[in-house]
């Protein structure tokens, strides 16, 4: 075999992962060496147990204080809601079951506390990981993060080499824990890329909150980058270029400057209406997960809240009726007089909450979840309904039921809503007696029987993410079938159009709150199909608003009619691409 040329090691390397925090940045690599996971084991005497236990309790105190310090810094820089991510860590430190198991093993095994702690927490983390549930797998990461901090404090050493960075750099690591990510110094850490991780991990959430470009799930990036290598990170598209060539750097720098200029212009649209060039006004609302997100929605120029995903309030514990009421009121007041649509808890599927004691299911996406779970727990469901009703006194709140598959579920949910109203009346508590009720159309059976559901509600909201997934039998997070997940598939186009037409025939309206509504390329298509409202994640509001303001309604109608005649998802997508290139080429550049 011929020898490799001497400069082979310096060749540009392009690596692909999952972009979890957007941004384009370049800089030298800082490769974080993986920690030695081995723990020294030594025998102890029964008389040593109290001393070992005292060491453990001192480590607990130190770790607890470190987490609270992180929370405090996060609250000051990003707000209380972002800092609440560490509540789960604090709860683990207070977990009596783990503490008791450590004490038992310490007394029975007579081994040093480091070994006992490592064994117990590793069993907990492995048990969570083996459940093969995405949410619980991420909680296994949290358990290991806390265990690592406790071990560092037992050894009296710093928790991370990242706190001692001297120069700005791009972190390359096998993995970063949530607490490591939260402690990153933005003046020193330009971006990071890791072998492990997913978009739902606390580490990814922290990166987005901090505004640090990040790519995760790269498998072996930590083995393919050398300390000091020049690296370019594209957090939007999940790309990392190691030793990028000059042409690549120049092209990305032009793109970065263009993106910055476009986003600066988009920021000026805050107080402008989402109105087409020929005068068609389309309300553009925001999707939120926590009350503090309402501020971001308002700052980005949203017309109210089109989807308040209330299940995120339940992640750490079950809030009381009063606590729920205050959370909903906080949002309603912030956006008033604009509307807040509060979706009842959509738990299950990829949002598993252990303290609600939901059973393990072979296929949770099609199992006991969302409205099915709530109808089976009527008192639990009515507590949330009462809280939403109590928050409706400003008369700008609407209720929406998720995952409806038949009219019977709507009738039963409305019956429980009526009971909740009667209970509040008996308590003498005010609420909006004419509060509007709507349903999510995200199951094909609901779309096909929309005419049966319409008489019982005041609006529909199409959740395109699940509608595409369930209609095409494609798991949207399974990379093996990604190419089959087609929002422009003729079946999807026809279901959306049918739902809209049925709603208009019954004198009600239809919105879209799924990812299709946030895709600038597909927005003109939805407008052309006759949708009455769009709701997108708050940062995407200016982008979608700019597309609508660049569009003529007549162009959208032509696109919608062509899509209904088409027999090909690719053809529909091509037509959408062509129209966006014609009306807003700078937006096309931004999203591509």
What's the length of the chain?
592
Q: To 10 degrees, what angle do helices 541-550 and 246-266 make? A: 80
Among 321, 20, 52, 287, smallest CA distance to 178 is for: 20
Q: State the catalytic residue, choosing from 89, 174, 202, 489.
A: 202
- The rounded distance, in Å, linking the Cα atoms of 283 and 397 is 16
Q: State the catalytic residue, choosing from 89, 118, 169, 513.
A: 513
What strands lie across the sheet with 189-194, from one edge to the other? 13-16, 239-242, 230-234, 24-32, 169-173, 189-194, 214-216, 18-21
C-alpha pair distances (Å), 182 with each of 67, 177, 248, 525, 533: 10, 9, 31, 40, 36
CA angle 395/283/443 to nearest 5° reads 85
**Per-residue b/e over 207-216, b at no fewer than 16 CB within 10 Å?**
bbbbebbbbb
- The rounded distance, in Å, linking the Cα atoms of 426 and 471 is 44
- The rounded distance, in Å, linking the Cα atoms of 356 and 380 is 10
C-alpha pair distances (Å), 146 with each of 132, 269, 323, 378: 21, 44, 28, 37
Half-sphere exposure of 138 (CA within 13 A, CB side): 20
Q: Is 456 a catalytic residue?
A: no
Positive or negative: CA dihedral 218, 223, 226, 227:
positive
Query: Which residues make beta-bridge pairs with 275?
Result: 281
Query: Which residues make beta-bridge pairs with 535?
Result: 285
CA angle 451/498/406 to nearest 5° reads 40
Contact 343, 400 (CB under 8 A): yes
Strands (E), 340-477: 340-343, 397-401, 436-441, 459-462
Contact 343, 310 (CB under 8 A): yes
**Per-residue b/e over 446-459, b at no fewer than 16 CB within 10 Å?**
bbebbeebbeebbb
**Cα pseudo-dihedral 585, 234, 519, 134, rounded to 10:** 170
Strands (E), 429-556: 436-441, 459-462, 509-512, 533-537
- The rounded distance, in Å, linking the Cα atoms of 465 and 447 is 14
- The rounded distance, in Å, linking the Cα atoms of 213 and 194 is 12
- The rounded distance, in Å, linking the Cα atoms of 407 and 448 is 11
Q: Is 374 a catalytic residue?
A: no
Among 322, 260, 334, smallest CA distance to 292 is for: 334
Q: To 10 degrees, what angle do helices 113-130 and 49-78 make? A: 50
Helical H segments across 79-110, by residue range? 80-83, 87-93, 96-109
Active site residues: 202, 513
């Amino acid at each position: 075999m011929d020898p490799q040329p001497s400069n082979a090691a310096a060749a540009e390397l392009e690596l692909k992962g999952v972009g979890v925090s957007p941004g384009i940045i370049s800089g030298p690599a800082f490769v974080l060496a993986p920690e030695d996971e081995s723990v020294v084991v030594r025998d102890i005497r029964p008389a040593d147990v109290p001393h070992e236990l005292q060491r453990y309790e001192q480590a607990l105190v130190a770790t607890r204080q470190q987490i609270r310090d992180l929370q405090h810094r996060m609250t000051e820089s990003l707000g209380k809601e972002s800092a609440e991510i560490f509540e789960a860590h604090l709860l683990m430190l207070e977990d009596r079951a783990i503490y008791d198991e450590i004490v038992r093993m310490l007394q029975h095994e007579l081994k040093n506390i480091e070994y006992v702690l490592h064994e117990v927490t590793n069993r907990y983390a492995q048990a969570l990981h083996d459940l093969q549930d995405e949410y619980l797998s991420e909680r296994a990461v949290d358990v290991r993060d806390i265990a690592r901090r406790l071990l560092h404090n037992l050894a009296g050493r710093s928790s991370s080499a990242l706190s001692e960075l001297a120069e700005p750099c791009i972190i390359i690591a096998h993995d970063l824990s949530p607490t490591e990510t939260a402690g990153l110094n933005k003046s020193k850490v330009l971006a990071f890329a890791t072998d492990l991780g997913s978009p739902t991990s606390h580490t990814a959430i922290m990166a987005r909150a901090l505004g640090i470009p990040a790519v995760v799930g790269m498998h072996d990036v930590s083995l393919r980058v050398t300390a000091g290598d020049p690296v370019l990170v594209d957090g939007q598209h999940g790309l990392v270029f190691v030793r990028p060539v000059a042409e690549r750097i120049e092209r990305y720098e032009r793109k970065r400057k263009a993106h910055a200029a476009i986003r600066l212009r988009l920021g000026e649209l805050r107080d402008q209406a989402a109105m087409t060039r020929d005068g068609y006004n389309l309300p553009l609302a925001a999707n939120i997960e926590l009350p503090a997100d309402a501020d971001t929605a308002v700052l980005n120029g949203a017309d109210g809240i089109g989807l308040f995903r209330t299940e995120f309030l339940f992640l750490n514990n079950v809030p009381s009726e009063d606590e729920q009421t205050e959370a909903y009121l906080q949002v309603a007041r912030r956006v008033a007089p604009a509307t807040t649509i509060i979706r009842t808890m959509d738990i299950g599927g990829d949002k598993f909450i252990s303290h609600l004691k939901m059973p393990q299911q072979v296929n949770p996406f099609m199992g006991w979840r969302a409205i099915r779970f709530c109808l089976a727990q009527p008192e639990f469901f009515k507590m949330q309904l009462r809280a939403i009703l109590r928050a409706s006194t400003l008369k700008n709140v609407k209720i929406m039921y998720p995952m409806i598959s038949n009219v019977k579920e709507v009738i039963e949910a409305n019956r429980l809503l009526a009971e909740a109203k009667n209970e509040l009346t008996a308590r003498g508590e005010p609420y909006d007696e004419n509060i509007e009720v709507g349903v999510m159309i995200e199951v094909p059976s609901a779309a096909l029987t929309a005419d049966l559901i319409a008489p019982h509600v005041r609006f529909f909201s199409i959740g395109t993410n699940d509608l595409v997934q369930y209609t095409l039998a494609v798991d949207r997070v399974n990379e093996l079938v990604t190419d089959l997940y087609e929002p422009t598939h003729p079946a999807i186009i026809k279901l959306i159009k049918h739902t809209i037409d049925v709603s208009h025939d019954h004198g009600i309206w239809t919105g879209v709150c799924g990812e299709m509504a946030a895709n600038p390329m597909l927005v003109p298509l939805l407008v052309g199909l006759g949708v009455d409202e769009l709701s997108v994640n708050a940062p995407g509001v200016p982008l979608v608003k700019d597309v609508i303001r660049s569009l003529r309604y007549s162009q959208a109608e032509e696109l919608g009619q062509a899509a209904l005649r088409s027999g090909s998802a690719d053809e529909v997508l091509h037509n959408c691409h062509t129209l966006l290139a014609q009306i807003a080429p700078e937006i096309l550049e931004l999203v591509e």
